[in-house]
Structure 1
Amino acid sequence: MTAVTDSTATPGSTKKAGARRSTLVFAGLTVALVALALVSACLGQVPTSPAEVIGSLLHRIGLDLGPMPAHPAGDVTLWQVRFPRVVLAMLVGAALGCAGALLQGVFANPLAEPGVIGVSSGAAVGASLVIVLGGAFTAGWAIAGAAFVAGLITTALVYALSRSNGRTEVVTVILTGVAVNAVAGGLIALFTFVADPAARDQIVFWQLGSLGGATWEIVSVVAPLALAGIGAAIVLAPKLDLLSLGESVARHLGVDVERVRQAAIVIVAVLVSAGVAFTGIILFVGLVVPHLMRMALGPAHRRLICASALCGAATLLAADLGARTLVTNADLPLGMLTALVGGPVFFWMLRRTRASQGGWA
Structure 2
Amino acid sequence: MSALWCSSFTRLASASTSGLTESLGDDALTLRMYLLDHVDLFPAVTSIPSDSNAVVVLSLANLRRLGLVSHSLVTVRHGDLAHVAQVQLQLHVADDIMYMSPFLAHNLQCVETADVVVEPHTTYPRMQAMPPTASRVEIAPILSNASSSSARDESHVVHALHAFFATPRLVQHGDIFGVPVVGTYPEKHSNPHLLEPSCSSTDVPVIVHADVVLFRVQAMTWHDDGPPCSSTTSPLALTVLKASTTVVQTPATATRLLHERQLRQYALSAMAAAAPLPAVPPSIYPHHMQKLIEWLHPTTVSLPISIALSGVAGSGKKTLLYNAANALGLFVLEVAFAELTSTSELQLLDNVHLVMQKAKSMAPCILFLNRFFVTE
TM-score if structure 1 supplies the norm length? 0.20
Which structure: greater helix fraction? 1
Q: Which has the higher strand share?
A: 2
